[in-house]
């Protein structure tokens, strides 16, 4: 068994990289970082396969594992939030013992397998036509042929299993809310809004018709009164409570143009809002 120079170079670059990826996955604290280290390992393995005359396997490794499966992992991790970390409480009893036992067992199997492949097995050579089937040299045609002739039944069974799993996931995720008459769709929401006849248009945005376009400034309705929906209670700087107090005091809609935030703080009366334009309107 000979190893070409390029193969050796590739191995000594990719081997440490994939090992580093595996270790990084184990020891990094953030779940997303773990996933990324694993991606590094998978990419290195994919390229290693390509170096070993198995380009199809290598590319499929990259497309399926890094492109689809790890992306799904990342998706979930990102949705779970960046601060979420693993809990260190053991939920399963004896988990550590079983994990270490099985881990050692797996390691033993892998070492035995590798040792055997290094010892008494002669490599057939994937590019050698005699070693392959009738699909000719190269492994794309041969894999296709094996998959759709010899292994057709297992292949179809696997796809049936996957489809079953996908349908099961969909059924589980499909709640009453998504069924007809459950959650209101956009169309139904619009109809409802129109039927109730209170506000056919959209809610006013902050600062609309007002004298400034800050979120702290309430929107004004066409009649000049304050649109209270435009003020968010969540944002602290908006004067929701202030306006409510004023309203309670005056027992009427306050004049939006007289909203002088600065004057309230004991300023010299240089109001933020009393612009010439609004003055003209008020006169």
Partner 1 sequence: MSARELIANDPTWLSLVKAVLVFALLLVITILLIWFERRVLGRMQQRPGPNRVGPFGLLQTVADALKLAFKEDIRPKLADNWVYFLAPAISAGAAFLAFSVIPLGGQVNLFGYQTSLQLADMPVSLLVVLACSSVGVYGIVLGGWSSGSPYPLLGALRSAAQVISYEIAMGLSFVAVILFAGSLSTGDIVDAQGQGGVWYAFLLPVSFVIYVISMVGETNRAPFDLAEAESELIGGYHTEYSSIKFAMFFLGEYVNMVTVSAVATTLFLGGWHAPFWLGGVGGGVLNTGWWPLLWFLLKVVFMLFIFVWLRGALPRMRYDQFMKLGWKVLVPVNLVWIVAVVAVRTMRNTGVGTAQLLTIIGIVVVVVLAIVLLLPNRPAASDVEEVPVTGGDHPLPPLDLEVPKVPKRKPVAAAPAPELSAEEEGVPDGRA
Nearer to partner 1, 67 or 205 (CB): 67
Residue 242 C-beta: closest distance to partner 1, Å: 18
Phi, psi of 229 (to 5 degrees): -65, -20
Q: Which two tokens stand for residue 279?
A: 């003055």
The four Cα atoms 117, 58, 45, 74 give a dihedral, to 10 degrees, of -140
Residue 161 C-beta: closest distance to partner 1, Å: 19
What's the start-to-end Cα distance of the chain, in Å?
98
Residue 67 C-beta: closest distance to partner 1, Å: 3
> CA 58 to CA 44: how far, in whole Å?
9
> CA 26 to CA 259: how far, in whole Å?
60
Q: Is 187 exposed, middle or buried (0-12, 13-18, 19+ CB in 10 A)?
A: exposed
Q: Are 260 and 224 in contact (CB under 8 A)?
A: no
Residue 208 C-beta: closest distance to partner 1, Å: 14
Nearer to partner 1, 176 or 195 (CB): 195
| Helical pair 70-80 and 31-51, crossing angle rounded to 10 deg | 170
Nearer to partner 1, 67 or 239 (CB): 67
Q: Which two tokens stand for residue 43?
A: 């990419």
Residue 114 C-beta: closest distance to partner 1, Å: 26
> CA 12 to CA 138: how far, in whole Å?
25
Query: Which residues in this chain contact partner 1 in the complex, by CB under 8 A?
Result: 30, 32-33, 36, 39, 43, 50, 55-56, 59-60, 62-63, 66-68, 71, 74-75, 78-79, 82, 138-140, 190-191, 194-195, 197, 200-201, 211-212, 221-225, 252-253, 255, 257-258, 269-272, 274-279, 281-283
Nearer to partner 1, 17 or 221 (CB): 221
Nearer to partner 1, 105 or 182 (CB): 182
Nearer to partner 1, 228 or 253 (CB): 253
Give the H or E element holding residue 219. Answer: strand 219-220
Residue 237 C-beta: closest distance to partner 1, Å: 18
């Amino acid at each position: 068994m000979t190893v070409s120079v390029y193969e050796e170079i590739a191995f000594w670059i990719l081997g440490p990289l994939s090992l580093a990826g595996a270790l990084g996955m184990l020891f990094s604290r953030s779940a997303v970082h773990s996933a990324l280290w694993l991606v590094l390992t998978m990419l290195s393995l994919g390229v290693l396969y390509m170096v070993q005359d198995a380009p199809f396997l290598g590319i499929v490794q990259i497309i399926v594992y890094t492109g689809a499966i790890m992306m799904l992992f990342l998706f979930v991790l990102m949705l779970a939030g960046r601060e979420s970390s693993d809990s260190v409480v053991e939920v399963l009893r004896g988990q550590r013992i079983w994990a270490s036992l099985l881990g050692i067992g797996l390691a033993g199997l892998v070492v035995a397998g590798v040792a055997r492949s290094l010892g008494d097995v002669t490599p057939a050579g994937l590019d050698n036509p005699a070693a392959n089937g009738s699909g000719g040299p190269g492994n794309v045609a041969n894999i296709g042929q094996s998959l759709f002739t010899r292994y057709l039944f297992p292949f179809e069974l696997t796809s049936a299993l996957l489809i079953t799993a996908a349908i099961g996931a969909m059924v589980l995720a499909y709640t009453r809310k998504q069924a007809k008459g459950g959650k209101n769709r956009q169309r139904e929401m619009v109809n409802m809004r129109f039927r109730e006849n209170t506000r056919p248009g959209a809610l006013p945005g902050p600062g609309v018709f007002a004298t400034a376009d800050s979120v702290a400034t309430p929107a004004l309705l066409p009649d000049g009164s304050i649109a209270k929906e435009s003020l968010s209670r969540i944002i602290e700087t908006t004067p929701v409570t202030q306006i409510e107090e004023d309203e309670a005091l005056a027992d009427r809609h306050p004049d939006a143009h007289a909203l002088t935030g600065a004057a309230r703080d004991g300023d010299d009366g240089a109001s933020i809002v009393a612009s010439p334009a609004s003055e003209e309107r008020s006169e």
